[in-house]
Amino acid sequence: MSFRRVLLLGAVGVVGAGSLLLGPTSAFAQAGGSSGAAPVGSHTDSLRDLGAKVGLRVGTAVNPAELTSSTYSSLIANQFSVVTPENEMKWEVVEPAQGQHNWGPADKLVAFAQAHHQLVRGHTLLWQNQLPTWLTDGVANGSISNTQLRALLKKHIQDEVSHFKGKIWQWDVANEAFTNPWDPEWSGTPAPGHFWVNHLGASILADAFKWAHEADPKALLFYNDYAIENVNAKSTAVLNWVKQLRAQGVPIDGIGFQTHLDTQYGVPTDFTQDMQRFGDAGLKTAVTEADVRTFTEPNSVNTPTDTNAVAVQNAAWKQSIDTCLAVRSCISFTAWGVSDDQSWVPTTFANPQEGAALLYDSNLQPKSEYFTVQHELATTEAAHRTGIGAGRS
Ligand code: 9MR
């Protein structure tokens, strides 16, 4: 299929889905839907306001450096009620040289959020990626012992959580501590192969939650992971582990379902049942990093190679937001970025090229996926959830 034909079909798909899903009363439809103005300035139909009607915070990952663009910043202010710094609270950013803190980029986003009545998800305190090189080099060359490593982690968590005390709604305290059932080292427990668990033992995860709780007793503390959006071996392992921790009194409040989906793997079939069992165990839940990638034309971040992919992408977004709406413990639904060109996907999955993962195209125009999420929020009969504006209850 020619590039031009794909583009044309894509455009028909977007406009068609937008008008079909929105109906005549939508401010976006009146403004010309996806082919008209960007969805800034519309309050009644914004994702944040539609979510507020059922007590669900709708959010996005933000790159604070981009907030200088007024189009980007007004879109974020108008559409979303919770924000996550995509990278700016990670250890390599906040402490690039040992003992020298760089809180500026994250402070900027927190101030933006406060000015726009948004909450903040803090991301992330204990992860094996995006660690500062002074730390990883020190561990590799033996100049940082395991005893020192533990003390450094404790200080990092306490410094960061204290710095943002009272300003973070949910902290992703620990991120991706399990391997995957398809990895050779899969054990069903926090993971051999994981930097922190290898050096300090699995109990370091419980300690991380305790340290974070001591520094900000009101913040909701989450464990965040991917490939747990179905009832499967990994989600079951995470559920069993977190139940055990809670039985031991570890202050862990919730589970973040990253929800990085890909059309080649299909739409999760039992996401609702899966998330519900975490809710039944007394945990809050959240969709924390939603995106749906697909194969795109070489060097394109927007144009799927297969036009049918857009329907699968819409089905995946629908399933994700419907799950969060159906499960009352789900308190926030966050997309991992705003527009396709800013997403982590094109650079991470470059050969073959994948992209088109988010709700807006590279011109910050809403895609059919945006209208799908909007439609589900507008038409849901989900029960209102409470306690989403405060800390731990
Ligand atoms: O989106 C983030 C990207 O900009 C960074 O380069 C990448 C580095 O590891 O991390 C991305 O965010 C990840 C998130 O922090 C944890 N879950 C997976 C996300 C996508 O890789």
Instruction: Give the model confidence (pLDDT) of 60-101 as tens digits.
Output: 999 999 999 999 999 999 999 999 999 999 999 999 999 999
Tokens 């009969």 found at: 381
pTM score, whole prediction: 0.89
Instruction: Report the pLDDT value the prediction gives residue 389, as an integer from 0 to 100.
Output: 61
C-alpha span between 138 and 94 (Å, rounded): 18
The answer to whether position 269 is within a domain reads: yes
225 within ligand 1 shell (Cβ under 6 A) = no
Higher pLDDT, 302 or 15: 302
- Read off the tokens for 41: 């300035």
Instruction: Report the pLDDT value the prediction gives residue 185, as an integer from 0 to 100.
Output: 87
Beta bridge partners of 260: 291
Instruction: Report the pLDDT value the prediction gives residue 387, as an integer from 0 to 100.
Output: 60
Q: Which residues contact 70 (CB under 8 A, 6 or more apart)?
A: none
Share of the chain above pLDDT 70, in %: 87
C-alpha span between 1 and 80 (Å, rounded): 37
Q: Which residues contact 322 (CB under 8 A, 6 or more apart)?
A: 272, 376, 380
235 within ligand 1 shell (Cβ under 6 A) = no
What spacing in Å lies between the alpha carbon of 345 and ligand 1's midpoint? 9
What is the tens place of the pLDDT at every residue in 265-294?
999 999 999 999 999 999 999 999 999 999
289 within ligand 1 shell (Cβ under 6 A) = yes
Nearest to 164 by CA among 118, 104, 209: 104
Which atom, in ligand 1's list, is nearest to the CA of 337?
1
Of 16-25, 99-108, 154-163, give the lowest mean pLDDT range.
16-25
The answer to whether position 7 is within a domain reads: no
Which atom, in ligand 1's list, is nearest to the CA of 226?
17
Higher pLDDT, 33 or 242: 242
Instruction: Report the pLDDT value the prediction gives residue 168, as an integer from 0 to 100.
Output: 98
> Cβ–Cβ contacts within 10 Å for residue 375, how many?
21
Mean pLDDT (the chain, rounded): 88
The answer to whether position 258 is within a domain reads: yes
What spacing in Å lies between the alpha carbon of 225 and ligand 1's midpoint? 12
Instruction: Report the pLDDT value the prediction gives residue 191, as an integer from 0 to 100.
Output: 82
Closest residue by Cα to atom 13, ligand 1, is 86
Which atom, in ligand 1's list, is nearest to the CA of 175?
16
What spacing in Å lies between the alpha carbon of 291 and ligand 1's midpoint? 12
CATH number at residue 291: 3.20.20.80
What's the first-to-final CA gap in the chain, in angstroms? 55
The answer to whether position 385 is within a domain reads: no
The answer to whether position 8 is within a domain reads: no
Higher pLDDT, 193 or 318: 318
DSSP letters of 13-49?
HHHHHHHHHH-TT-HHHHTTGGGSS-S-S--TTSHHH
- Read off the tokens for 50: 């539609």
Q: Identify whether 376 is a catalytic site residue.
A: no
What is the tens place of the pLDDT at every residue in 14-53?
222 332 222 222 222 222 233 334 444 454 699 999 999 9
The boundaries of the domain holding residue 193 are: 14-379
The answer to whether position 393 is within a domain reads: no
Instruction: Report the pLDDT value the prediction gives residue 338, as an integer from 0 to 100.
Output: 98
The answer to whether position 354 is within a domain reads: yes
Closest residue by Cα to atom 14, ligand 1, is 86
Domain count across the chain: 1
C-alpha span between 50 and 94 (Å, rounded): 34
Task: Give the 3-state secondary structure of residue 102.
Answer: coil
C-alpha span between 110 and 83 (Å, rounded): 9
> Cβ–Cβ contacts within 10 Å for residue 292, how many?
27
- Read off the tokens for 14: 């977007």
Q: At what angle do helices 368-379 and 309-326 cross, to 10 degrees?
A: 30
Residue 144 has pLDDT above 60, yes or no: yes
Q: Identify whether 354 is a catalytic site residue.
A: no
- For residue 304, which phi and psi values (nearest 5 degrees)? -60, 145
Instruction: Report the pLDDT value the prediction gives residue 227, as an integer from 0 to 100.
Output: 97
Nearest to 13 by CA among 34, 37, 30: 34
- Tell me if the bond preceding 124 is cis, omega within 30° of 0: yes
Higher pLDDT, 30 or 358: 358
The answer to whether position 391 is within a domain reads: no
Nearest to 84 by CA among 106, 104, 111, 56: 106
What spacing in Å lies between the alpha carbon of 379 and ligand 1's midpoint? 32
